[in-house]
Amino acid sequence: MERERHLELNSKKKKGLINLECLKIPMIMFTFLFWLSGIAMIIVGVWTLYYEEQYHLLLGSTRYLIIVGLMIGIGGVVILVCVCGCYGTMKEHRYLLLTLSVGIVAFVHRYQIKDEIYKSTKNTMNLYGSDKGVTVAFDKLHQSFKCCGDLSYASWNSTAWKQSEVSGNNTVPDSCCKTPSLKCGKRDHPSNIYREGCIWELTILFKEHLLILGSVMIGISFLQLIGILMTICALRYVDDYY
């Protein structure tokens, strides 16, 4: 009787060992995926900062930069945790919630970005000509998106730049011209300057990038959820058979 019980226990342990070994492979695969997801977060975050480096000055708010910064930070932590081999259940829960939260904030912020851009560009237009960073950002914006001002080219008429000597009696900055040249902004004829405002193009740009950021973060949070379930299954097998 005792021998049968001992054999049954050994059989159970062997079965548990086999099941645990089977779980190791997908767990290693998911750990590798987590590591890749951390790299992906950093790459997407850095790419966003680099691509929109000058346009951040026009945004005025730090919320967008905070979202991108959190994404890069979480990516770095995920890589460190995976490398250290301590991706425990508690840590996974923490990073899952944080990653999911940042993804949701990115999606929500997409619907607030237009008003934010409009308010900030109104203010930053007054710095044109006196702030080098803002000046370069607007010049790049005008030429890249073939636009001028915020709502339209006429917006420049009510700016501090227009009232100052820096404007040189220009109607719009020279960068609004279809073929930029010195003092070309004096003539606001449709054949000479871009008359459409830049706010729509800038809004689309930031919305697209927030969509990418949000999608990446929420997608990675689902990967983390699968990893948590795999860890729980492994822990249950350990409890049952050992």
Tell me how far apart the alpha carbons of residues 170 and 142 are, in angstroms, rounded to a whole number.
15
DSSP 185: G
Residue 7 CA to its chain's centroid (Å) = 57
Domain boundaries, the chain: 25-89
Tokens (6 digits) for 51: 């691509």
Q: Kindly report the pTM of this predicted structure.
A: 0.64
pLDDT value for 79? 77
Answer for the pair 93, 228: CB distance below 8 angstroms, yes or no.
yes
* Pair of tokens at residue 188: 């606001």
- pLDDT of res. 173: 94
Q: What is the DSSP letter of 166?
A: G
Let me know: does 155 contact 197? Beta carbons within 8 Å.
Answer: yes
What single-letter DSSP state applies at residue 152? B
Q: What is the pLDDT of residue 20?
A: 53
Neighbouring CB atoms inside 10 A of 110's CB total 18
Instruction: Give mean pLDDT in consecutive 10-residue pieces for the chain, a chain of 242 residues.
Output: 46 50 64 78 81 68 72 78 55 57 62 73 87 89 91 91 86 93 88 90 82 78 70 60 50
Tokens 């040249």, residue located? 181
Q: Tell me how far apart the alpha carbons of residues 127 and 57 are, in angstroms, rounded to a whole number.
A: 11
Q: Which of 197, 201, 167, 199 is nearest to 185 (CA)?
A: 167
Cα separation, 83 vs 86, in Å, equals 8
